[in-house]
């Protein structure tokens, strides 16, 4: 009997501890959509306001949950950051997102997710006092589809691409962005004026999201889902040309399975990057990590031979 009571106590304690780890909040509601986020608060917050990390999970805009971002959010909170992992509309659910998809639908998926990330950002700006957040120190991160979301949310013209009535302040700028296996549709969006500190990581033989410059899924130009993308390697070199602050981690010959690598297995690298950014430490570095794999990407480039 005592043994059973002890086991019950341990189970209840475990459930309670997990429940207290984060708060689930609604950050956006309209007539058709309700969106939530899981918020992780540092156990000890000083008098100074805390920086914020907002994370966007991957899943091809068709699957995935905000729980996928708990690992990086939890670690960031343990290092003094307020951190949130958000849900967003999975617009490509039951739609085709590969070569036989529709280009305009792909772009719309990017646009909806980016707008909802802007709404999550606006939620924290409006509630900055409540959650003790320094709104000049807001970072965004994402894996795969989430990475494409954060890249476009950072560099798109918000007035042009906005779909909701409430807008971020015109002067607002993210403090930095962390992209795992992401890509952007137009490198020209990143200029000397708009560039912000960026940590990028990517498998060099990713067959889904190009590491360099190529079509999404390496689709041929005569298909309905053709979309040119500029991946991490192209973004990194472009930022170097702008003399910006950037770091690239390349998983040599790795595929799309590395899209969550730093977030799940080495989150301190993400926190170190954010800390360095907040301390005005400029970085221009490229780290190549061997995966002991062979490149099977369609164009055969490994970028790390």
Query: Rounded to whole angstroms, what are the CA distances from 228 to 216, 264, 270?
Result: 6, 28, 28
Q: Would you list the DSSP string of 27-79?
A: EEE-SS-EEEEEEE--SS--SSPEEEEEEE--STTTS--GGGGHHHHHHHHHT
Per residue in 98-122, pLDDT (tens digit) is: 999 999 999 999 999 999 999 999 9
The whole-number pLDDT of residue 1 equals 47
Q: Whose structure tokens read 């079509």?
A: 215
The whole-number pLDDT of residue 302 equals 61
Which fold would CATH assign to domain 49-89+99-290?
Rossmann fold (3.40.50)
Q: Whose structure tokens read 């995966």?
A: 291
Phi, psi of 273, deg, nearest 5: -60, -45
Q: Model-level pTM?
A: 0.92
User: Per-residue confidence of the chain (305 residues) as pLDDT tens digits?
Assistant: 444 444 444 444 444 444 448 999 999 999 999 999 999 999 877 778 999 999 999 999 999 999 999 999 999 999 999 999 999 999 999 999 999 999 999 999 999 999 999 999 999 999 999 999 999 999 999 999 999 999 999 999 999 999 999 999 999 999 999 999 999 999 999 999 999 999 999 999 999 999 999 999 999 999 999 999 999 999 999 999 999 999 999 999 999 999 999 999 999 999 999 999 999 999 999 999 999 998 876 555 566 65
How is the chain split into domains, by residue range? 49-89+99-290
Task: Give 8-14 contacts, CB < 8 A, sequence gap 24+.
Answer: none
The whole-number pLDDT of residue 44 equals 79
């Amino acid at each position: 009997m005592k043994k059973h009571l002890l086991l019950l106590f341990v189970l209840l304690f475990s459930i309670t501890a997990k429940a207290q780890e984060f708060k689930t909040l609604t950050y956006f509601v309209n007539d058709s959509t309700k969106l939530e986020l899981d918020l992780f608060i540092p156990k000890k917050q000083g008098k100074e306001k805390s920086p914020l990390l907002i994370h966007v999970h991957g899943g091809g805009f068709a699957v995935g949950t905000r729980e996928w971002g708990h690992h990086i959010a939890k670690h960031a909170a343990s290092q003094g950051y307020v951190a949130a992992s958000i849900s967003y509309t999975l617009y490509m659910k039951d739609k085709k997102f590969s070569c036989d998809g529709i280009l305009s639908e792909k772009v719309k998926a990017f646009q909806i997710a980016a707008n909802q990330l802007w709404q999550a950002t606006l939620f924290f700006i409006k509630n900055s006092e409540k959650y003790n957040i320094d709104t000049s120190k807001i970072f965004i991160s994402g894996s795969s589809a989430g990475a494409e979301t954060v890249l476009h949310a950072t560099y798109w013209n918000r007035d042009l691409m906005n779909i909701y009535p409430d807008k971020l302040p015109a002067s607002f700028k993210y403090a930095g962005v962390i992209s795992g296996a992401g890509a952007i549709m137009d490198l020209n969006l990143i200029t000397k004026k708009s560039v912000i500190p960026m940590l990028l990581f990517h498998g060099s033989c990713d067959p889904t999201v190009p590491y360099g410059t190529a079509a999404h899924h390496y689709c041929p130009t005569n298909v309905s889902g053709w979309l040119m993308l500029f991946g991490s390697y192209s973004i990194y070199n472009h930022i170097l040309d702008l003399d910006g602050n950037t770091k690239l981690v390349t998983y040599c010959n790795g595929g799309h399975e590395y899209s969550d690598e730093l977030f799940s297995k080495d989150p301190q690298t993400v926190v170190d990057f954010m800390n360095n950014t907040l301390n005005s430490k400029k970085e221009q570095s490229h780290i190549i990590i061997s995966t002991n794999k062979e490149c099977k990407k369609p164009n055969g480039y490994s970028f790390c031979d």
